[in-house]
Structure 1
Amino acid sequence: MADTFSTHAGQDPTLRDLLAARPALSMHAIDGLVFEDVPLNAIADALGTPTWVMGARTLRGRYARLSGAMRDAGLDVAIHFAVKANDHLAVLKVLGAQGAGADVVSGGELCRAMAAGIPARDIVFSGVGKTRTEMELALRHDIARINVESAEELELLSAAAVACGRTARIALRINPDVDAGTHAKITTGLAGNKFGIPYDRAADLYAHAATLPGIHPAGLAVHIGSQIERMQPYRQAYARVAELVRVIRARDLTVEVIDCGGGLGISYRHETEGAPEALANAIRLELGDLGTRLEIEPGRWLAGPAGLLLSTVILRKRGYDGMPPFIVLDAAMNDLARPSLYDAWHGIIPLSPRDAVAPTEQVHVVGPVCESGDTFGHDRTLPHLRDGSRVAILDTGAYGMVMSSTYNARPMAAQVMVDGSRWDVIRARQKIESLWEGDIVPDTLTHPAGGK
C-alpha cells in the first residue's frame, strides 16, 4: 500500500503536501476533512453536492497579510479587490469590511460592489470594452476612477462625460510589453494582447487627455497578467511606468496615482505562491519615490485558497486495455471551468478519513457533461475512491463559481460560507424549473396558424 501522506520528489503533491500548504484545512480521524472549523461532510450531508464553500476567516487572514505587507514596507496602498475573481455579495461584504475597495470590469460588477456596501469612491472601473451605458453609470455614481484602455475609449468617455455634465477621473492603462511568464490566456501585458495603450504612445495620449472636455487625467495603470510567481516581471513593468511618469511630468502634467495591477499567484500544484512582502518591495523599489498614491488589484491571491468545491463520485468506469479507470464526479466543467479552459490543475482530497488512507491508484477524474474536455485531471494518483465517495476540489475561490454556467441544463450548485465553526448557505441550489423560467415560446408555436 502506498503512503498517500508521504512526499515523493518529482510527483504531484500528496495529500499531506496539500494539507500542509493550506492551514485552513485539516484531516480529522472522525470528522474527516475540516475547513476552518467546519467538517465538510456536515455541509454535504445537509445540502448534497456539488456545493461551493468559501471561508470568511481565510479571506480576512489573507487580506490582513497583504495589507500588512504593504504597511510594513512603508507604503500607503489602496487595495481594490478584483471582483471578476469572485463576485458573491458575501465575499465582497467580508473584504469590504476589512477596508477593500473594488476593481470592476462591467456595469454589473459595479452594481454588485455597491450592493455589497463598497462605496463608489472606492471603486475603479477597468476593462477594454466599456459601453456608453456603463460609462454613464460610472459617471453618475462618481466612482473613484475609470481606467482607460485606448484612444478610442478616451474619446467616447469624453463625450459621455460632457453629456452627463460630469468629469471623469481617469488613468491610462499602459501595455508595457512585459512577459509575465504565465499561461497565454491569462497574460495581459504583451504588445500583442488586447489590453492597454502601447507604451510609446502613452505620453502623447495623456497630454491629449488633458485637453479633452469632461476628462481629468489622474494617473497611470498597469496589469501584466494573472498567476504571477516571480517579481522580476513586476519590477520590469513598474520601472517602465516610473519612467513614463517622469516623461509626463516633464511636460508639466500631473500624475497623482499609479494603479499597480494585480496578478499575484497562488500554489495550486508545485508553484511557489507569490509573496505579498516581495510585491510590496517591488512597488517600493520602483515606484516608492514618485510621490503618487498607490493602488493594487488582487483577486486570485485573496480568494483562490479561500474556496473549495465539494463533489461526490457518481461511479467508477472501468478502464480497458490497461487504461486507468474513470472516476466520474457529480461536479462538471459547467461548475468549474478552469481545467477545461486552461488545463488548470486543482488538488483533490477525499472528505472521508477512511478514503484518505486507502491504497492509491492512477485514475482519470472527470465530470458527467457530454464533452471530452469535461475533466478535472488525467493520470492522477489518488486514494481508491468508491461510488459515493466525496471529495473537495481545492483552491476554487477565484474563477470558480463566478465562471459557472448551466450547460447541459445543469442547475447552479449551492454555495456556503464558513466562518470559524459556523456555516451558512449564501446561495441555494438552483431549481431545475428555474432553468427555463425566462424562456418565451412564441404564440405561433403554441397555436399554429390554421390550427385548432
Structure 2
Amino acid sequence: MAEHAMAMVDALRGDTGSQQLVYRDQALHIESVCVDRIVTAVPTPFYCYSSDAIRTAYRTLSGALKPVGASVCFAVKANGNLSVLGLLAGLGSGMDIVSGGELERALAARVPASKIIFSGVGKKRSEIARALEVGIHQINVESEAELDAVGDVAGALGVRAPVALRVNPDVDARTHAKISTGKKEDKFGIPFEDIPALYTKAFAAPELDPVGLAVHIGSQILDLSPYRAAYSRIADLVSLLRSQGLRISRLDLGGGIGIPYDHGASPDVGEYATIIRETVGGLDCELTVEPGRWLVGPAGILVTEVLFIKETADRLTAIVDAGMNDLMRPAMYGAVHPVFPLMQDCQGKSHIYQIAGPVCESSDVFGTYRDLPALRSGDRLAFGCAGAYGASMASTYNARDLAAEVLVDRDRFRVIRRRQTIEALLALEDETEWQVSPIPSAGDLAHAF
C-alpha cells in the first residue's frame, strides 16, 4: 500500500517535474510543509496550493511556446484567488476573463489591463464599458448581437474597441459534453461560414478595431489532434479574410489542455507547440493561448477529515467533511480526483471505500477508491488535482461555509482566503427598507391586457 501511495504522488507531479507532494516520515508534505501542520492552524475542509508547482508549470509551458512566439493568458475561471493571480502575473502571465468580476480580480492582482482578454458569450454593457475604460487588450466577440453592443458602448465612450471574432470551427474536442465548446451545437462562438461577413461589418465600423480571430474548442483535452484540426481551419479562414483585404494581426488560440486525474500521462506541451507552429506559426500573427487547468490543477489539494465510517452489507463508506459544495466536479462531471491519506500506513492491508460528503444530495459522492488504509473518524485525506475548478466553483449550498484557501511556498504557508462563515453570509441578508411600488390605475391595467 505504501508503494501505491508513492506511485500516486509521483503521478500527480506530472510532466513538469514539480515536487509539490511527497511523503516524508510517512506524512504527506506539500513542498516542505507537512499538511497535518496546516490542519492544526486551518480547520478542514480547505484548499492548499503549491507555489512551486504553479511556477514550474508556467515556466514549462511558456518555455515550450517561446519558439513559436505565443504568449500565455491564464484562464481566471480556473482559479481566481488574488494570490494565485498575482503569482502568475509576476511570472509574466496575462489573464483571460469571462466576467466583470474576473476583470476586477485581475486588476486587483495588479495585472496590466493591456494583458487582459475578455471572453464569454454574455457580457453586460456595463462590463463592456468597464473593460474599455481600463483599456484591456481585446474583447472576444461571440455573436453579431454582441458585436453591435460593443460598438454601441464604444461609440458612447468615444473610443475604438479592439475586438476579435470567436470562431466556432465545428471541431469535436473529444472531451466531456459539458465542457465541449467548439462543436456547431455548442452555444459558443460564431459559425465558421458567418465570419467573413461579420468581420467585414466590424472592419467598416469606426468605433470598432477588428484585430483578429479567437477559437476555443473545450476543456480537459488529452488528445491534441483536435487542436490541429481547429487551428488548421483558422489558418484557412485567415487566408480567406486577407484575400478580401481584411487585416488579421492576432490569433487567440484558446486553452483546454488537460491533466491526468487518473495518474496517466499529461499531454506533451512540446507537441502542442509543434501543432501551433505547423498550423498558424507562419501567419505573422500575434499568438496567445489561454490555459487554466494545466497551470494550477495539479498544484492544489482539498484537505478533508473523516467524520464517520458507515458499514453496510456491500460497502464501506467514509463520510468526510468536504462536500459537493466544496468540490463540484465529481457531482457535475462524474470526475474522480485522486485521494492521498495524510499519514501512510505501511503495515496495514488495503481497503476499498466509497468516499462521500455531508451534503443532502445523493450526488455528493467523490468516488470509490481502492488501496486505502483502514480509515477511522478523525483521519485526514487530501483530494489531488484540485487547484482548478475547485474553490472557484464552490458554493454555500446547505448553508455551509466556503472553505478557506492556503498557499505554500517552500517551508512556509499562509491563508490566502479566509473561510466565509455563516455569520458573514447572514449579514448580507440584514433587513432593508421596503420600497413601495405605485398601484397601477384601471387604465394602466386595461392597457396591459
Where does residue 324 of structure 1 map in the other structure? 315
Cα shift at 1:387:
0.9
Query: Quick one: distance in 1 between partners of 2:218 and 2:123?
Result: 20
Where does residue 448 of structure 1 map in the other structure? none
Greater mean alpha carbon deviation, residues 152-161 or residues 373-382: 373-382
Cα shift at 1:270:
4.9
Cα shift at 1:357:
5.1
The answer (yes or no) to whether the contact 2:94–2:115 under 8 Å persists in 1 is: yes
Structure 1 residues not aligned, in runs of 5+: 6-13, 445-452
The answer to whether residue 127 in structure 2 is matched with residue 134 in structure 1 is: yes
User: Which among 92, 100, 103 is matched to residue 110 of structure 1?
Assistant: 103
Query: Quick one: distance in 2 between partners of 1:95 and 1:278?
Result: 23
Cα shift at 1:375:
0.8
- State the Cα deviation string for residues 321-359 of structure 1 (Å, max 9, x = none): xx11110000001100000000101000100123x6532
How many aligned positions are there?
428
Query: Quick one: distance in 1 between partners of 2:94 and 2:380?
Result: 36
The answer to whether residue 329 in structure 2 is matched with residue 338 in structure 1 is: yes
TM-score (norm 1): 0.92
AA matched with 1:373? S
Where does residue 450 of structure 1 map in the other structure? none
Matches within 5 A, 1:116-265: 116-265=109-258
Where does residue 302 of structure 1 map in the other structure? 295
AA matched with 1:427? R
The answer (yes or no) to whether the contact 1:51–1:416 under 8 Å persists in 2 is: yes
Query: Quick one: distance in 2 between partners of 1:226 and 1:379?
Result: 25
Query: Quick one: distance in 1 between partners of 2:114 and 2:433?
Result: 48
Query: Quick one: distance in 1 between partners of 2:34 and 2:150?
Result: 50
The answer (yes or no) to whether the contact 2:6–2:23 under 8 Å persists in 1 is: no
Cα shift at 1:420:
0.9
Q: Secondary structure at the match of 1:241?
A: helix
Greater mean alpha carbon deviation, residues 374-383 or residues 33-42: 374-383
The answer to whether residue 403 in structure 2 is matched with residue 413 in structure 1 is: yes
Where does residue 61 of structure 2 map in the other structure? 66
Query: Quick one: distance in 2 between partners of 1:335 and 1:380?
Result: 23
Query: Quick one: distance in 2 between partners of 1:129 and 1:283?
Result: 29
Alignment RMSD, CA only? 1.3
Where does residue 286 of structure 1 map in the other structure? 279
Where does residue 78 of structure 1 map in the other structure? 71
Query: Quick one: distance in 2 between partners of 1:426 and 1:155?
Result: 40
| Change in CA separation of 1:204 and 1:429 when aligned onto 2, cut-off 3 Å | same
Q: Secondary structure at the match of 1:181?
A: coil
Where does residue 10 of structure 1 map in the other structure? none
The answer (yes or no) to whether the contact 1:303–1:398 under 8 Å persists in 2 is: yes
The answer (yes or no) to whether the contact 1:28–1:353 under 8 Å persists in 2 is: no
Cα shift at 1:162:
0.2
Query: Quick one: distance in 1 between partners of 2:417 and 2:104?
Result: 18
Query: Quick one: distance in 2 between partners of 1:431 and 1:185?
Result: 31
Cα shift at 1:274:
1.7
Work out the percentage of aligned pairs sharing the same amino acid. 45
Where does residue 384 of structure 2 map in the other structure? 394
Cα shift at 1:382:
2.0
Query: Quick one: distance in 2 between partners of 1:61 and 1:171?
Result: 31
Where does residue 439 of structure 2 map in the other structure? none
Greater mean alpha carbon deviation, residues 21-30 or residues 85-94: 21-30
- State the Cα deviation string for residues 162-183 of structure 1 (Å, max 9, x = none): 0111110011000000000000
Cα shift at 1:28:
1.4
The answer (yes or no) to whether the contact 2:8–2:263 under 8 Å persists in 1 is: no
TM-score (norm 2): 0.93
Q: Secondary structure at the match of 1:435?
A: helix
Query: Quick one: distance in 1 between partners of 2:274 and 2:432?
Result: 61
Cα shift at 1:378:
3.0
Query: Quick one: distance in 1 between partners of 2:426 and 2:193?
Result: 50
Where does residue 18 of structure 1 map in the other structure? 8
AA matched with 2:24? H
Query: Quick one: distance in 1 between partners of 2:309 and 2:40?
Result: 21
User: Which among 32, 48, 60 is matched to residue 43 of structure 2?
Assistant: 48
The answer (yes or no) to whether the contact 2:250–2:287 under 8 Å persists in 1 is: yes
| Change in CA separation of 1:443 and 1:83 when aligned onto 2, cut-off 3 Å | closer
Greater mean alpha carbon deviation, residues 262-271 or residues 141-150: 262-271
Q: Secondary structure at the match of 1:47?
A: coil
Cα shift at 1:381:
4.2
- State the Cα deviation string for residues 365-417 of structure 1 (Å, max 9, x = none): 00001000011113544222111110110011000001111111111112110
Q: Secondary structure at the match of 2:204?
A: coil
Query: Quick one: distance in 2 between partners of 1:112 and 1:275?
Result: 31
Structure 2 residues not aligned, in runs of 5+: 14-18, 435-449
